[in-house]
A and B are shown apart, each in its own frame.
Chain A
Amino acid sequence: MPDAIGPDQIFQRALASKEILLPKCDDCGAYHFFPRVLCPHCHGASISWMQASGRGRVHATTVVRRKPERGGDYNVCMVELDEGVRMMSRVEGVAPGDVTIDMEVSAFIGEGDGDLLVLFKPVEG
């Protein structure tokens, strides 16, 4: 079945059409991330894909220190989405060291090394 696609491709293809989809369990109603063929909470195997709210807050953050000639410092953080799932990402639009725990952020689709990525920016206000 060359047309069959798995959870990874569903997520990636959605990004390519400018959508962030999150897997949600039909049985227990909980979201999970990374995408899987089963729910890691209740182990149900019936999964639906839902449009992500894109809203979240920074759960933890660090600055990866890198020499300026190699591109300089950058942010790596853990964002907890309103859906209750956590993903590694990067907050852009502020200096890497100005990303703070509990900062409210919103998702956008960006690019890195040729891949489409979920990135975040601070919520204005």
Chain B
Amino acid sequence: MTNELRGKAAIVGTGHAGFGEAHGLTAYDVMAQSALAALGDAGLKLSDVDGLFCTMMEDSMPALMAAEYLGIQPRIIDGTMLGGSSFVNYLTSATMALEAGLCDVALIVYGSNQRTASGRLVTASRPPAYEAPYNPRYPISAYAMAAARHMHEFGTTREQLADVAVSARAWAQHNPEAFERGPLSREDVLGARMVGDPLTVRDCCLVTDGGGAIVLVRADRAKDFPKAPVYVLGSAAESSHRQISQMKDFTVTAARESGRRAFAAAGVSPSDIQAVELYDAFTINTILFLEDLGFCAKGEGGAFVESGRIAPGGVLPVNTNGGGLSCVHPGMYGIFTVIEAVRQIRGDAPGMQLNNVDLALAHGNGGVLSSQVTAILGSHDTL
């Protein structure tokens, strides 16, 4: 997105469904319940939706399946599949479609029943041919090697990684929607079952059910809806690889570029951001993205997250809903970074509500650190 699209689209509704365990429901059921919730939040009906922005884990034509299930005939569909970052990426395509008049009501939606269906990550994506024979555990082995490399190059410690999970849990403990709200200490994380060195099971995101949805309209009619609109001030993407073996530097992600361009489009800088919502599939993600998005210098992410500095009452509020580590992670988490950012700005966050948030950042990650998408969202005062 360029500066020309700054503030041209507004989020007027968000919704979610099936958090935790959605017994008896299919992924498409959860998707549809999420859509209804978001449209209800916006005071709109499914029949108002003429733009659909959707992908799912199960199929190769999920957007068509979703449109059919919902009983709508969209004028425009974007089903670009970048992994979990897809839903942050749709902010760009939805804004373009709205601004060009290709649709009037854009619905971004996702749903999954991964936990009750199988209890593990299910994907229609094929394992890479030159990696699969070595049986990496997908995707954790890739993130584990990125973490190992960060520790090797910068002296980042397992304790610092653990503190990311501890901070996420501290936020989740304030959020009644979060799936895991029990106490979690650094020692608990370090002593948990090792799954892929140096990451224990507590360094890894949850496997839950859940869906989310977002409704966008053109900014010129954004004030006609029940909730305060939240504007898309900037969004930008960059992809660097698909397979971890093709990632040039395991300690530098394409978030450096997506972040730089999103900030430029929005005309703000990291120090202006009041709530940071990052895709924390693994504890190393939070450290990498804080560095690459410019909240701290490369290599200093470990110290930046240490001892509650990104927890409630710390120096920077990060993943204020509890993140994918403690709130919800239904296969792809990206849409929930946007939903939490919107709710913090509107002042109706389900957990700890920060004071007077006007600017928030949502960052999506897809694949194995492959696709990075950054969005800057703002209140009416930031236009």
Contact = CB atoms under 8 A, between A and B. Distances in A.
Given A63-B196, A88-B245, A117 B145 contact: no
B193 interface: yes
B373 interface: no
B135 A65 contact: no
B146 A64 contact: no
User: Interface size for chain B: under 10, 10 to 19, 20 to 34, or 35 or more residues?
Assistant: 20 to 34
Interface stretch (A23-31, A43-51, A73-81): A73-81
A24 to B, nearest CB: 17
Contacts, number: 74
A118 B144 CA distance: 22
A60 B149 contact: yes
A78 B244 contact: yes
Contact of A64 (B129, B137, B244): B137
Interface in B186-219: 193-198
Interface in B236-280: 243-246, 250
B136 A86 contact: no
Interface string A75-100: 01110000000111110000001000
Given A62-B144, A65-B194, A115 B152 contact: no
A62 B130 contact: no
A117 B134 contact: yes
B130 A33 contact: yes
A78 B145 contact: yes
A97 B197 CA distance: 8
23 contacts: A8-B129, A34-B130, A34-B243, A34-B246, A62-B144, A63-B196, A63-B197, A64-B135, A64-B136, A64-B137, A64-B141, A64-B196, A65-B194, A65-B196, A76-B134, A78-B145, A78-B245, A86-B245, A86-B246, A88-B244, A89-B134, A97-B197, A101-B149
- Closest 9 CB pairs between A and B? A60-B145, A62-B144, A63-B197, A34-B130, A88-B131, A60-B149, A76-B136, A101-B152, A88-B245
Given A63-B194, A65-B197, 8 more contacts: A60-B250, A62-B144, A65-B196, A76-B135, A88-B130, A88-B131, A88-B136, A101-B148
Interface of A: 8, 33-34, 59-65, 74, 76-78, 86-90, 97, 101, 112-113, 115, 117
